A and B are shown apart, each in its own frame.
Chain A
Amino acid sequence: MSAITREDVAHLARLARIAMTDDELDALAAQLDVILGAVARVQEVAAADIPPTSHSLDLANVFRPDEPVPSLGAALAVAAAPAAEHDRFRVPRILDEEA
């Protein structure tokens, strides 16, 4: 059973803004299908009485007090950015998506 189609990969690549060649789409569709198939085997052992897990630890309500801790500072914050200007992260022109 093939779960991941070439179109699925193309769609995900577009959402992730990753350019892909036709060969890459074919190759990834096959590979992702195998990966998904492997993970899907978990479903075979999960009985109806086992609730889905979203975290590796069986914990809830882990909270932090609302107390400030020092931030990085602007210079350090933007130090690793590919581009910065006036202590702001500089990014390429954004598509016309917002005012």
Chain B
Amino acid sequence: MTIATPPYDDVLDRYDPVLGLETHVELGTVTKLFCGCSTVFGAEPNTQVCPVCLGLPGSLPVTNGTAIDYTVRIGLALHCRIAEWCRFARKNYFYPDMPKNYQVSQYDEPLCIDGYLDVDVDGDEFRIEIERVHLEEDTGKSMHVGGSTGRIHGATHSLVDYNRAGIPLVEIVTKPIAGTGHRAAAVAKAYVTELRDLLRGLGVSDVRMEQGSLRCDVNVSLMPKGATAYGTRSETKNVNSLRSVERAVRYEVERQGARLDGGERVVQETRHFHEDSGTTSPGRSKEEAQDYRYFPEPDLVPLAPAPDWVAQLEASLPEPPSVARRRFATEHGFSDLELTQMTNAGVVDLVRETIAAGAAPGKARGWWLGYLVGRANDAGVEAASLAITPAQIARVGALEDDGTLTNKLARQVVEAVLAGEGEPDAVIEAHGWKVAGEDELVAAVDAAIAASPDIAAKVRDGNQGALGPLVGAVMKATGGSADAKRARELLLERLAGG
């Protein structure tokens, strides 16, 4: 018999959650961390590999200076201390996603230490303490063959593509995040969102979660309310959307809550998140896999960032996203509430770009917050992943403003663009969507009145509430292309006159 899973809020009435987030960011360097192979996403398999990233005998790595530059910038933006001297380490393990049987990473000497990031959750600020920021090489990609769904289970063999192996990957690790209470899931999402925006602002990564250039491991544990000793945590690996970060926390809170309620232990383990169901399932157990036998990488010389160079980088940092957002709101007259709504929905940049493309601020905000966010939620994606650009929204907005499109038609155009039918103007042309002209409208109004003399009589007698069916008839006659407000005006005008 399974015990019914208690809902999230119910669990958090009785337990305090502690979170830990490890975020991996692929840096946007042109070449890999230790060799000159290209890092472009989506290339044919094994076309971006060389003796160094394949770990062939006799090859020697040389560190990409830009990757160090980017990592230090990330550390500084997160208010970290930059190590004066540190080394890479070998993380030894036997798994074919690295051809060398080890991954070059950093172990007890990370490049950046002890920072923080402040995040805003519905108007309250949470300070997320950063434990470390270190640099390592990304792994290759395995494709499992023979299993029913391309997963390992039941596979007969695997095929490996090393294009990604060796791409610089920065790992940002938080200290345990306690005291969030019911807002644990929201805080986790807000942190990853803020981090993504910060990284984008720094220009160090394209931070595309759907392409895996930003991915997150989510640690969750529960302890009885008021306790101080943290509970046993689970680690959900490779969560790759903002929405999933939130869902993974919620699911783990509920799952662990059910176990603890039932008197069972939470097992310390790695878990996998399933996008379709929003659930997690156990992965490998940590027992032996964790014996990585780290040692200093003998093929690479130490890093010793010069203090004056670090100071120079610090002075050149862009404004943090929270400051940029505030400035953006002031510039365009958005209220605090509107800014919070746009921030929570993840559309600040989209609204900014739509305004930059010529839309009025209110119109830009209205389209994203009032319509497209809902469409994105329906599709289970981020608004930024929708198949429509800020420029296209700005164009639709302009066509609404000049009367070419009614609001209803504008939505039809947006839907058509989302469906991949092309640019707004092409869509309008192809469908013949235009606001009905005045002549067409007058004809439709007269026809509607003639067709329903009894309703017309009621309206003439002063019952304006009876007008609805006539407006409907006009809209129908014009194929929905009429401006309903104008149709109403015309109907009243003609009825009063006749």
| A residues in contact (CB < 8 Å) with B | 11, 14-17, 54-55, 57, 59-69, 71-74, 77-78, 85-94, 96-99
Contact = CB atoms under 8 A, between A and B. Distances in A.
Given A77-B46, A99-B151, A88 B161 contact: yes
Contact of B46 (A16, A63, A87, A91): A87
Given A11-B291, A89-B159, A93-B152, 17 more contacts: A14-B288, A16-B94, A54-B298, A62-B300, A64-B64, A67-B30, A67-B36, A71-B47, A71-B48, A72-B50, A77-B162, A90-B158, A91-B158, A93-B155, A96-B152, A97-B289, A99-B272
Nearest to A97: B284
A80 B296 CA distance: 29
25 contacts: A14-B288, A15-B92, A15-B288, A54-B296, A55-B298, A57-B301, A60-B301, A63-B68, A67-B36, A68-B31, A71-B37, A71-B49, A72-B51, A73-B47, A74-B45, A77-B47, A87-B47, A88-B46, A88-B143, A89-B160, A90-B157, A91-B142, A93-B152, A96-B152, A97-B152
A66 B159 contact: no
Interface in B130-171: 142-146, 151-153, 155-162
B179 interface: no
User: Size band of the B side of the interface?
Assistant: 35 or more
A16 B95 CA distance: 10
Contacts of A88: 45-46, 143, 159-161
Contacts of A63: 62-65, 68
A93 B158 contact: yes
A96 B301 CA distance: 36
Q: Which 7 pairs, one residue from A and one from B, show the smallest C-beta to C-beta distance? A: A63-B65, A69-B36, A88-B159, A54-B296, A66-B66, A60-B304, A99-B272
B29 A66 contact: yes
B283 A98 contact: yes
Given A88-B159, A89-B162, A91-B96, A98 B46 contact: no
Nearest to A55: B301
Interface string B227-241: 000000000011000
A89 B87 CA distance: 31
B371 interface: no
A90 B301 contact: no
B213 interface: no
Given A54-B87, A60-B301, A72-B51, A92 B157 contact: yes
Nearest to B274: A99
Given A67-B36, A74-B45, A91-B158, A62 B301 contact: yes
Given A89-B46, A90-B159, A61 B62 contact: no
Nearest to B92: A15
B431 interface: no
Contacts of A87: 44-47
A68 B160 CA distance: 23
Nearest to A78: B46
B354 to A, nearest CB: 33
- Interface of chain B, helix or strand or loop or mixed? loop
Given A59-B301, A74-B46, A67 B51 contact: no
Contacts of A89: 46, 96, 99, 159-162
A94 B301 contact: no
Contacts of B30: 66-68
Contacts of B300: 55, 62
Contacts of B298: 54-55
B398 interface: no
A22 B291 CA distance: 23
Nearest to A88: B159
Contacts of A60: 85, 301-304
Contacts of A64: 36, 62-65
Interface in B63-113: 63-68, 85, 87, 92, 94-96, 99
Interface string B22-35: 00000001110001
Interface in B237-252: 237-238
B485 interface: no
B94 A66 contact: no
B38 interface: yes
Contacts of B44: 74, 87
Contacts of B62: 62-64
B202 interface: no
B54 interface: yes
Contacts of B156: 93
Contacts of A94: 95-96, 142, 144, 152, 155, 158
Contacts of B142: 91, 94, 98
Contact of B65 (A11, A65, A90): A65
A92 to B, nearest CB: 6
A89 B37 CA distance: 18
Which of A57, A66, A74, A97 counts the most B-chain CB atoms under 10 A from its CB?
A: A66
Contacts of A62: 62-63, 300-301
B46 A15 contact: no
B152 A85 contact: no
Contacts of A14: 288
Given A16-B94, A94-B96, A68 B46 contact: no
